[in-house]
Amino acid sequence: MAENEREGYQFIGWYIDPQYTKRINPGGKLPGAVTLYDKWVPIIYPVRYQCNGGINSRRNPRYVSVETGVKKLYPPQKKGMRFVGWSLDGKLIEYLPPRITRPITLEAQFRELCTVRFESNGGGRIPDKTTDEFGMIELFRPPMRMGYEFAGWYLDENLTFPFEFDMQVNESMTLYAKWNVKMYDIRYHVDGGVSSRMNPKQYSYFDQDIVLAPARKKGYRFTGWFDARGNALNHIRHHSIGDKEFFARFEKEETGE
């Protein structure tokens, strides 16, 4: 590099004061011994964008210099395509590097939008969904399956690797539903008595008919289980759903005199 060269800068001239207000004329005489100050200004370089049919973001910088710091790059928009990144010298970048000393050209890289298919594994059908331009799919209502509760979508058939909706989808794929058997609670109101230990606290849609054992209350005779409406009910039928409440009724035992 020559004496009056500085990468990324343009030499303006020599000055006799550090504030750069008094410039000396080339070839002029200096008044005896004097300290000279060299002045430089950064060269402004253009940034060109090849959007390949897309529309560039207005927030992307148009010019840079050696004094420009790291600059974030924003994605262009292209209908029906997903932006992958800006390519600089064959490498994908998200930020312009600092201390640029040349004009640069960035090329937008796009991919086709991905299709996500869903295997509900016995649940309701979910139609295929297409990712947006950022490779994301919107959160949606999960499928339903009688007797089960939905436990999430997974990336593999063995249900080992869960899928989260903040994950970016980079290729078309199939997601698999995981299910757990839904357990329903059973509550017993015994009016001061004691329910049998044989009576379950939970049940599922798949259980066979459950016949409730009687409750006990000292000095009283158990007359049956009833629902909240007062209907006699001493069992839970196979393929029932929902939490259950049972109310025990008693009659006071007569004591002989």
**What is the per-residue pLDDT across 204-217, written as a single tens digit (0 to 9) for each?**
999 999 999 999 99
Q: Average pLDDT, stretch 22-31? A: 76
What is the rounded distance in angstroms from the CA atom of residue 71 to the CA atom of residue 44? 15
Taking a C-beta distance cutoff of 8 angstroms, is the pair 204, 180 a contact? no
4: pLDDT strictly greater than 90: no
Q: What is the token pair recorded at 197?
A: 């230990």
**What is the per-residue pLDDT across 90-140, written as a single tens digit (0 to 9) for each?**
999 999 999 999 999 999 999 899 999 999 999 999 999 999 888 899 999
| pLDDT in the model for residue 1 | 42
| pLDDT in the model for residue 31 | 67
Q: Average pLDDT, stretch 19-37? A: 82
Query: What pTM was computed for the model?
Result: 0.65
Taking a C-beta distance cutoff of 8 angstroms, is the pair 88, 56 a contact? no
- Complete domains list, the chain, with CATH: 9-42 (no CATH), 45-112 (2.60.40), 113-181 (2.60.40.4270), 184-252 (2.60.40)
Q: Tokens 């794929």, residue?
A: 173
Taking a C-beta distance cutoff of 8 angstroms, is the pair 247, 228 a contact? yes
Mean pLDDT score of the chain: 93
